[in-house]
C-alpha cells in the first residue's frame, strides 16, 4: 500500500472538493491569522502534491521535522472545523448537537430560562427525527437545571421530565438490545458463514431467541423497528431462509418509503436495506421484482432531494453496480454485461479511497464471472489472479474458495492445460484446509483428484456422473448455497450438451419466466 493512503491528513485533503477548499481559506481568513501562517502554508503545499512526500514538505523550510506531526494535527483539526461549518454538512444531527451546545453555554452563564427554551425546541426536533439518544441527553440537562434552580418554567415540570426520561430510556435500551443482536448475528455470519446442518441451525436459533428482547410491535418507533428488522434479517440469512430475508428486507425498505424524511437523515441504512432486499431477490431468482427494485433504487438516488456526500456516493455506486452485475447473472446475459466492466473499473478509480479492498475483490470476482459466462476465459483468469494473489487482505474464505475453483475451470475451458496438474493440486490443498466444506465442494474435490487420470474420450462421461451427483444437492437447503457463488451445474450441462454456459442459463431463465 502506498504511503499517501496511510497519511490521514493527505487523504482528507484529497477528498476535499473545490468549494470545500475555498470554504477552508475563507474560514482561515475569518480567524484573522496572518495569511502566511504555517498551517495554511502546509495546506497549500499539500494541495499541490499528487502523492504525499514528506521530503518535499521539509525542503520548504516552514517547519522542522520534529514539529511536522504537530503542525499536521493542527491543520487536520482546522479542516474538520471548517467542514463542520460548511452548510452541505449541516444535517439534522449536527443542528441538534449545536443547539445542545448553545444551551449548555447559556446554562453555565446562569441564563437558565434561555437555556431551557433552546433545550425544549432541540428536544422536540430530536424526538421528531428519531434521535432519541440525544433527546435523552437533553432531558437529563433539563432535569439538572430544574433540580438546581427554581425557574417556575412550567407546572408539574418535575413529573413531566421524569416520565419523559423514563420513556426515552426504555426506548433507548430496547433499541440498544436490538442493535446489539443485529451486530452479533452479523459478526457470526462473518465468522462462520451460513449454517450447514440442523445442529448449527439449532445453535443459531437458540442464540437468537435467548437475545431477542420482548417487544410490542405497535409501540415501536421507526428506530426500534429498523433494528428489529435488521436482527430478523441477519437471523434469516444465517439460517439460509431467503424467503424470510425477503420479508424483513421488504419491511426495512418500506419503513423508509413510508417515512421519506428518514431517507434523508439515514441514507446509509436506506441503501443497505435495498442492497439486502436485492440480494434476497437474487437468491430467490425473482427477476421482475429484482429489476423493479433496482430501477426504483437507482431512480431515488438520482433525485435532487437525495443526500450526496463522499460516503453516500461510494455506497450508492457499490450497491447499485454490484446488483447490475447480478441482474446479468440472473438473465444469463453475459455478453450484454461486458460494457459494464469498463464502467465499473473506471469508477473504481474515483472511489479507491472510499471502498475497502474486500469489496474491490468482490467486484473482481463478478467481473471474472462475467468474462467466464461470455466465454472470455483468459480475461476471467486475469481477474481471478488478482484475488488469489492478494495476500494483504483477510478475505472471506468462501470468496477465495470459489475464486480458485472458477480459476481451475477457466484454465480448463481456455485449453491452458500445460500446468493443469499443478493447479489442481494447489486448489485441492487449499480446499482441504478449509473447515466445514459443503458436500458440493467435497464432490468437486473428488472430481478434481481424478481428472488427471481420465482419458479425453472419457471426460464427458465423468461430467455426466458429477452432474448427477451435484443435482442431488440442488434443492438441499444447506448445500444449495454453494451454487450461488458458482453455477457448477449449468457449467456441467454446457459441457455435456456442448453449448455455451450463457445459452444454458438463458434457457433456464426463459423457462422460469413462462
Average pLDDT over residues 271-283: 94
Confidence of residue 512 (pLDDT cuts 50, 70, 90): low
- Cα separation, 141 vs 145, whole angstroms: 6
Predicted confidence at residue 7, as pLDDT, reads: 83
30 or 7, higher pLDDT: 7
Predicted confidence at residue 450, as pLDDT, reads: 76
Neighbours of 61 (CB within 10 A): 8
Predicted confidence at residue 87, as pLDDT, reads: 67
Q: What is the pLDDT of residues 47-91, one digit of tens each?
A: 888 888 888 888 888 888 888 888 999 999 999 988 887 766 667
Mean pLDDT over each residue of the chain, to the nearest integer: 85
Of 210, 107, 179, 181, which Cα lies nearest the Cα of 149? Answer: 107
In this structure, are residues 429 and 404 in contact, taking their beta carbons and an 8 Å threshold?
no
Q: What is the pLDDT of residues 448-494, one digit of tens each?
A: 777 667 776 777 788 888 888 888 887 777 777 667 666 778 888 88
- Cα separation, 165 vs 44, whole angstroms: 49
Predicted confidence at residue 1, as pLDDT, reads: 36
pTM over 0.95: no
> Which range (174-183, 277-286, 499-508) has the least confidence?
499-508
Question: 388 burial class (0-12, 13-18, 19+ CB within 10 angstroms)?
Answer: middle
Phi (first) and psi of residue 435, to 5 degrees: -95, 150
Q: How far is CA 330 from CA 257, 281, 432, 500, in A?
A: 26, 10, 30, 16
Residue 29 DSSP one-character state: H
Residue count (the chain): 514
Q: What is the pLDDT of residues 348-392, one digit of tens each?
A: 988 877 788 888 898 999 999 999 999 899 999 999 999 988 877
Neighbours of 12 (CB within 10 A): 16
Residue 198 pLDDT more than 90?
no
In this structure, are residues 378 and 414 in contact, taking their beta carbons and an 8 Å threshold?
yes
- Cα separation, 47 vs 13, whole angstroms: 7
- Cα separation, 391 vs 402, whole angstroms: 16
Average pLDDT over residues 116-131: 91
Predicted confidence at residue 184, as pLDDT, reads: 92
Confidence of residue 224 (pLDDT cuts 50, 70, 90): very high
- Cα separation, 26 vs 28, whole angstroms: 5
Question: 87 burial class (0-12, 13-18, 19+ CB within 10 angstroms)?
Answer: exposed
Confidence of residue 4 (pLDDT cuts 50, 70, 90): very low
The domain spans of the chain are 3-89, 92-154
- Cα separation, 42 vs 61, whole angstroms: 10
- Cα separation, 99 vs 94, whole angstroms: 9
In this structure, are residues 204 and 238 in contact, taking their beta carbons and an 8 Å threshold?
yes
Q: What is the pLDDT of residues 321-341, one digit of tens each?
A: 999 999 999 888 999 999 999
Average pLDDT over residues 91-118: 88
Predicted confidence at residue 336, as pLDDT, reads: 93
Predicted confidence at residue 484, as pLDDT, reads: 67
What cell does 10 get?
493527505
Q: What is the pLDDT of residues 404-424, one digit of tens each?
A: 888 888 888 888 767 777 887
Of 32, 27, 135, which Cα lies nearest the Cα of 87? Answer: 27
CA angle centred on 273, ends 270 and 275, rounded to 5°: 110
DSSP labels, 375-389: T-HHHHHHHHHHHHT
In this structure, are residues 75 and 43 in contact, taking their beta carbons and an 8 Å threshold?
yes
> Which range (90-104, 238-252, 322-336) has the least confidence?
90-104
Confidence of residue 446 (pLDDT cuts 50, 70, 90): confident
Predicted confidence at residue 2, as pLDDT, reads: 40
What cell does 428 get?
485441492
Amino acid at each position: 500500500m502506498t504511503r499517501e493512503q496511510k497519511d490521514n491528513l493527505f487523504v482528507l485533503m484529497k477528498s476535499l472538493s473545490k468549494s470545500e477548499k475555498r470554504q477552508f481559506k475563507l474560514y482561515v481568513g475569518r480567524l484573522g491569522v496572518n495569511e502566511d501562517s504555517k498551517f495554511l502554508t502546509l495546506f497549500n503545499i499539500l494541495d499541490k502534491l499528487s502523492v504525499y512526500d514528506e521530503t518535499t514538505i521539509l525542503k520548504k523550510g516552514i517547519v522542522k521535522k520534529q514539529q511536522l506531526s504537530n503542525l499536521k494535527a493542527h491543520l487536520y483539526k482546522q479542516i474538520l472545523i471548517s467542514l463542520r461549518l460548511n452548510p452541505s454538512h449541516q444535517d439534522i444531527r449536527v443542528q441538534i448537537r449545536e443547539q445542545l451546545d448553545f444551551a449548555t453555554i447559556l446554562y453555565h452563564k446562569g441564563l437558565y430560562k434561555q437555556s431551557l427554551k433552546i433545550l425544549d425546541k432541540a428536544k422536540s426536533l430530536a424526538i421528531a427525527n428519531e434521535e432519541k439518544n440525544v433527546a435523552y441527553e437533553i432531558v437529563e440537562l433539563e432535569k439538572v437545571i430544574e433540580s438546581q434552580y427554581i425557574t417556575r418554567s412550567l407546572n408539574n415540570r418535575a413529573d413531566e421530565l421524569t416520565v419523559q426520561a423514563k420513556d426515552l430510556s426504555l426506548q433507548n435500551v430496547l433499541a440498544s438490545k436490538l442493535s446489539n443482536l443485529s451486530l452479533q448475528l452479523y459478526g457470526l455470519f462473518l465468522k462462520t458463514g451460513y449454517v450447514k446442518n440442523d445442529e448449527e441451525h439449532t445453535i443459531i436459533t437458540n442464540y437468537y431467541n435467548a437475545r431477542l428482547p420482548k417487544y410490542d410491535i405497535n409501540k415501536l418507533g421507526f428506530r426500534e423497528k429498523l433494528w428489529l428488522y435488521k436482527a430478523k434479517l441477519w437471523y434469516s440469512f444465517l439460517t439460509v431462509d431467503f424467503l424470510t430475508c425477503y420479508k424483513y428486507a421488504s419491511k426495512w425498505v418500506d419503513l423508509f418509503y413510508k417515512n421519506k424524511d428518514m431517507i434523508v437523515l439515514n441514507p446509509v441504512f436506506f441503501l443497505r436495506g435495498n442492497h439486502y432486499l436485492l440480494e434476497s431477490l437474487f437468491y430467490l431468482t425473482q427477476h421482475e421484482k429484482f429489476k423493479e427494485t433496482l430501477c426504483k433504487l437507482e431512480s431515488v438516488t438520482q433525485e435532487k432531494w437525495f443526500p450526496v456526500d463522499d460516503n453516500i456516493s461510494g455506497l450508492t455506486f457499490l450497491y447499485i453496480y454490484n446488483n447490475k452485475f447480478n441482474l446479468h447473472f440472473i438473465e444469463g446475459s453475459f455478453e450484454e454485461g461486458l460494457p459494464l466492466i469498463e464502467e465499473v473499473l473506471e469508477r473504481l478509480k474515483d472511489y479507491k479511497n472510499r471502498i475497502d479492498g474486500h469489496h474491490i475483490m468482490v467486484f473482481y470476482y463478478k467481473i471474472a464471472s462475467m468474462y467466464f459466462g461470455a466465454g472470455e476465459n483468459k480475461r476471467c483468469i486475469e481477474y481471478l489472479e488478482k484475488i488469489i494473489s492478494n495476500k494483504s487482505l483477510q478475505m472471506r474464505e468462501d470468496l477465495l474458495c470459489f475464486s480458485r475453483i472458477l480459476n481451475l475451470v477457466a484454465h480448463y475451458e481456455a485449453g491452458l492445460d500445460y500446468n493443469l496438474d499443478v493447479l489442481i493440486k494447489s486448489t485441492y490443498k487449499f480446499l482441504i484446509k478449509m473447515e466445514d466444506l459443503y458436500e458440493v465442494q467435497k464432490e468437486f474435490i473428488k472430481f478434481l483428484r481424478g481428472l488427471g487420470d481420465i482419458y479425453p474420450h472419457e471426460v464427458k462421461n465423468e461430467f455426466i456422473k458429477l452432474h448427477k451427483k451435484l443435482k442431488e444437492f440442488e434443492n438441499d437447503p444447506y448445500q444449495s448455497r454453494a451454487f450461488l457463488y458458482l453455477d457448477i451445474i449449468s457449467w456441467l450441462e454446457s459441457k455435456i450438451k456442448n453449448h455455451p454456459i450463457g445459452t444454458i442459463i438463458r434457457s433456464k431463465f426463459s423457462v422460469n419466466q413462462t
